[in-house]
Structure 1
Amino acid sequence: MTAQTSDEQRPALSGPFGYGDRVQLTGPKGRLNTITLVPGGEFHSHRGMIRHEELIGLPDGSVVRNTHDEEYLALRPLLADFVMSMPRGAAIVYPKDAAQILSLADIFPGALVVEAGVGSGALSLHLLRAVGTDGELRSFERREEFAEIARANVAAFAGAAPANWSVTVGDLQEALPATCEAGTVDRIVLDMLAPWECVGAAADALKPGGVILCYVATVTQLSRVAEELRRSGCFTHPQANETMVRGWHVEGLAVRPDHRMVAHTGFLITARRLAPGAVLPERKRRASKSEYNDEDVAAWTPDVLDGPAGEAAEDSREWTPESIGQWSKSDKALRKKVRDARRLAAERGADEA
């Protein structure tokens, strides 16, 4: 069940600080410390302390001093700041990719959006903000631990579980038809290990013209999902890209790129649902070295095609997080992240129900 988020429950996004607000304190050396204001709380560093009560009532962007007279800048974290500091059960979708997802998938206010898997809830928060109160987000997750962390993180940010958001634990292929009527979903976003397994279910759920977007980590996954989208005959030609963000150091005449950058995090591949019975026209282009046939596809992704290639699939390597280089947390670590997320939600007075 989901709980209604009232104005009284929702943490303020602007205005004077109050108990339950998340506050980002930036110290003299630029180090960020994110805290939740609670009655009687204190923020300690090795060079002094700030009582939470000293921040209550101050406007956003205030400067406060600790007991050693060091200055700290106090600001509410932006959504991007929040998702980067919240408890994580699974790797999150970085803000740079979340922004691209909202644009490429054309997430609009009032849309019915399906998301799988929910991970730690980072993308869910961006999608909920984009669909607005008139839209709806239906999230699906295979692992109960990840779903619990996501519920707590979203509740911590919003003040309660949004009324227009649901999280279903289960396999998307089985749960989606039982949750969404065929041809009713505006957008589907798949952030999962093997999104090609869900292309058929997604095609049934999407409206004609609806968008499917898949977020994958490796080129092998990218190729596999692209060929499945083509093979299904239900979608337009897929388009793929990645986003790299490089910051710049700008101080006086010292203007240069930062030494570090957020480079590859994942690939985004999108396609649009064709009308039932429509056949996508073949692209007319001159022959080139990029031409390929079924044998080429089978050599790269042997489980895409039927026949001899399908036989090779039985011996192919199983798709696991480890096989594509993704690090996964142990059950013990996940239980700790669940406790951390619930504690954060409790500090903000959030209702996870």
Structure 2
Amino acid sequence: MSEPTTHGPPNDGAARSGHHGLLEEGESVLLIDHKGRRYLQTLSENQEFHSHAGPLEHDRLIGAEPGSTHRTTKGLTFTVFRPTLSDLVFKMPRGAQVIYPKDLGPILMLADVAPGVEVLESGIGSGALSSAMLRAGARVTGYELREDFARRAQLNVARAVGPEAAARFAVELRDVYEGIEVGPSGGYDRVVLDLPEPWQVVPHLQGALRPGGIVLAYTPSIMQASQFREALVEAGLVLAETLEVLHRTWKVDGAAVRPDHRMVAHTAFLSHARMPSRSERTLPPERDGA
């Protein structure tokens, strides 16, 4: 098995999670023009942001207040904000497809990701889900097959949540289909999977997922979700559920309101279940009329 990768968080561009006050050199900012177009920048002395609107000096943004507006050399304006995690997810460099914010929030709720929770994530991709779980306070161990994906995810995570949260993120070059290594803590509270065949992981949950723990799989196809659900039943997991999240925005202009013509409909199915205690898994089935 491979050792955990050791790429630390970058010194430049790291998000200051929970940071308040004036904008600082080295942090990410979001520039929004008069048409609502968004541009992500990392503030650096003596640098400029170049666009159709003309150059805008970073030195004018360093020390500025979030929400302030600044003019370029051509007289056009940009408003500067600290980016939300959702902004960073949409803009982050990627090798694999990211899980988008419309699914990230429900995953955090369905898997009940909270401070101190130990999570095994496999299929870390570009690190969007890892960032969301770390922001929620979890400790995340990621299994990834490709070293380039692992490195990119760690860099994305460090920029999204900052070095303090990124210190709770460990990535190991492993194939979760071959098994889950359980450390001294005795297992994981949550297992979150973004894999083509998550049902192959279910037999490894015994002893790796703590009693009462939650497993969740993100699958684009309903046939993947169905096969995963069958594996959950065979393994004795309970309270299984599958759902999808549809995202529709609305046009609101005074009294004229209507749904937008386009919506983000299907992206994936979210299937989750819970691990019963060992004693419950060995009970005989109830008889009718009991």
After TM superposition, the score normalised by the length of structure 2 is 0.89
**Does residue 166 of structure 1 match 2:170?**
yes
On the 8 A contact 1:5/1:158 being kept in 2, the answer is no
Question: Over residues 94-127 of structure 1, what are the superposed CA-to-partner deviations in whole Å (9 max), with x where a residue is unaligned?
Answer: 1111100110111111111111111000000001
Q: Structure 2: where are the runs of 5+ without partners?
A: 1-5
**1:156 CA displacement:** 2.0
**Does residue 86 of structure 1 match 2:92?**
yes
SS in structure 1 opposite 2:238?
Answer: coil
Q: CA separation of 1:182/1:231 partners in 2, compared to 1, >3 Å: closer, same or farther?
A: farther
Number of corresponding residues: 277
**1:182 CA displacement:** 8.3
Q: How does 1:273-312 map to 2 (within 5 A)?
A: 273-279=275-281
Structure 2 match to 1:256: 258
| Paired letter, 1:18 | E
The CA distance in 2 between the partners of 1:283 and 1:87, in whole Å, is 55
SS in structure 1 opposite 2:207?
Answer: helix
SS in structure 1 opposite 2:50?
Answer: strand
| Paired letter, 1:151 | Q
**1:181 CA displacement:** 5.3
Question: Over residues 145-164 of structure 1, what are the superposed CA-to-partner deviations in whole Å (9 max), with x where a residue is unaligned?
Answer: 21111011112224437222
SS in structure 1 opposite 2:280?
Answer: coil
Q: How does 1:1-353 map to 2 (within 5 A)?
A: 1=6, 11=16, 13-130=19-136, 132=137, 135-160=138-163, 162-174=166-178, 176-177=180-181, 179-180=182-183, 183-233=186-236, 235-279=237-281
Q: Structure 1: where are the runs of 5+ without partners?
A: 285-353
On the 8 A contact 1:65/1:71 being kept in 2, the answer is yes
Q: CA separation of 1:66/1:31 partners in 2, compared to 1, >3 Å: closer, same or farther?
A: same
| Paired letter, 1:11 | R
The CA distance in 2 between the partners of 1:199 and 1:94, in whole Å, is 25
- Work out which of the two has the higher radius of gyration on C-alpha atoms and give 1 or 2: 1
The CA distance in 2 between the partners of 1:78 and 1:41, in whole Å, is 23
Q: CA separation of 1:224/1:247 partners in 2, compared to 1, >3 Å: closer, same or farther?
A: same
Q: CA separation of 1:159/1:38 partners in 2, compared to 1, >3 Å: closer, same or farther?
A: same
| Paired letter, 2:235 | S
What percent identity do the matched residue pairs reach? 42
**1:183 CA displacement:** 4.8
Question: Over residues 130-177 of structure 1, what are the superposed CA-to-partner deviations in whole Å (9 max), with x where a residue is unaligned?
Answer: 1x2xx4211111111211110111122244372221001111144522
Bigger fraction of residues in helix: 1
The CA distance in 2 between the partners of 1:203 and 1:283, in whole Å, is 26
